[in-house]
Amino acid sequence: MSAEYGDGTRVVHSVRAAAGEPFLGGPVFASAYHLGGGNAYGRSDNATWQALEGALGALDGGEAVLFPSGMAAISALSRVVLAPGDVVVVPSDGYYLTRTLVAGLPVRVVEAPTVGPYPSFEGVRLVLLETPSNPGMDVCDIAALSAAAHAAGALVAVDNTTATPLGQRPLALGADVVVSSDTKAVAGHSDVLLGHVSTVDAELAARVRAERTTSGAIPGPFEVWLAHRGLGTLDLRLARQAENAAALYAALRGRPEVTGLRWPGAPDDPAFAVASRQMRRFGGVLTFRLRDAAAVADFLSRSALVAASTSFGGLHTTLDRRAQWGDPVPEGLVRLSAGCEDTADLVADVLAAL
């Protein structure tokens, strides 16, 4: 599908079957191998992966390689690009398992907060950015940091999970690699775990693909098929989620129970200046703090529409108190993922629960 079409058209038409075939061909889950020709063995490649990789690659502006989860994608990338003794820069406030992952590798890890300041990139092999950061919803300037990293000879990867390829195109902004947990808004229905790596570097994509084949960490075709079916409504879902996030931001702002409210789409948010330059839409994820863990539990018990869930980006509004998972953030900090409910219902429910 031509990049000249709008986002909604592109995701809806990300599968376009030939006459007489279903719009979205069935998953190849019943077949471990194909007789003869390409797609010979299901660990190397198959038609269901190719369909979604084609769609995600076109949206990212690169070549996409699917993995069974976001962490599998990040870990495959780190195995491909990092050698013992290399220096890697990761966000100190990003997805906590990314830090756990690199801490276990024979590399030197330098942590930097998403808003900066960043260290010198001299001697650095990989700069892994995450913007907006999960859970803090801070934003960094992908173009400026990519230029600085490239001047020092470093490779730049961006975790684009929170933004999705419709919210932000890191490869077009100068990054070398995108990593994503498609478990969240990309698949969007809270029914699969999935991830991908995208890059404009064909040689790097081939190495990532070879790593997947060798490691054997491959996604199930049925999960890939479900994610592809979900992708068709990404534009619609993000539009409602962002509308709901904007309304919740306005309703929560100034409430005495709420502090540290963050949503990069709000003009008075510290991230807005950079976010409005590099993001194409802001999505539905907000972060704020209630007094403590008990206040969050009370809020959840009184809400009829907000479910406690550690994932985000789905149809339902969900809330996660991050400190319970060992994320080093304040006890009462929550990440709220606005779903696709009616805006008035959601705002009324959240205000009543507060």
Ligand X SMILES: *Cc1c(COP(=O)(O)O)cnc(C)c1O
* Minimum separation from the CB atom of position 4 to ligand X (A): 30
Judged by beta carbon, residue 167 or residue 195, the one nearer ligand X is 195
CA distance 53 to 77: 16
* Minimum separation from the CB atom of position 254 to ligand X (A): 28
Strands of the sheet containing 285-289, edge to edge, are 259-262, 285-289, 333-337, 318-321, 307-308
**Residue 193, both tokens:** 């775990």
Cβ-proximal residue to ligand X, closest one: 70
CA distance 33 to 156: 36
* Minimum separation from the CB atom of position 114 to ligand X (A): 11
Residues that bind ligand X (CB under 6 A): 69-71, 95, 130, 134, 159, 161-162, 181, 183-184, 193, 195
Q: Which residues have C-beta within 8 Å of that of residue 11, sequence separation ≥ 6?
A: 55, 59, 166, 231, 232, 233, 234, 235
Looking at this protein, which amino acid is placed at residue 287?
T
Judged by beta carbon, residue 114 or residue 162, the one nearer ligand X is 162
* Minimum separation from the CB atom of position 93 to ligand X (A): 11
Distances (CA, A) of 340 to 187, 297, 316: 14, 23, 6
Judged by beta carbon, residue 47 or residue 101, the one nearer ligand X is 101
What DSSP designation does 17 have? P
Phi, psi torsion values for 240, nearest 5 degrees: -70, -40
* Minimum separation from the CB atom of position 274 to ligand X (A): 18
- Greatest Cα pair distance, the chain, in angstroms, is 67
Residues paired with residue 88 on neighbouring β-strands, in sequence order: 109, 126
Judged by beta carbon, residue 10 or residue 169, the one nearer ligand X is 169
Judged by beta carbon, residue 95 or residue 225, the one nearer ligand X is 95
Judged by beta carbon, residue 217 or residue 295, the one nearer ligand X is 217
* Minimum separation from the CB atom of position 172 to ligand X (A): 20
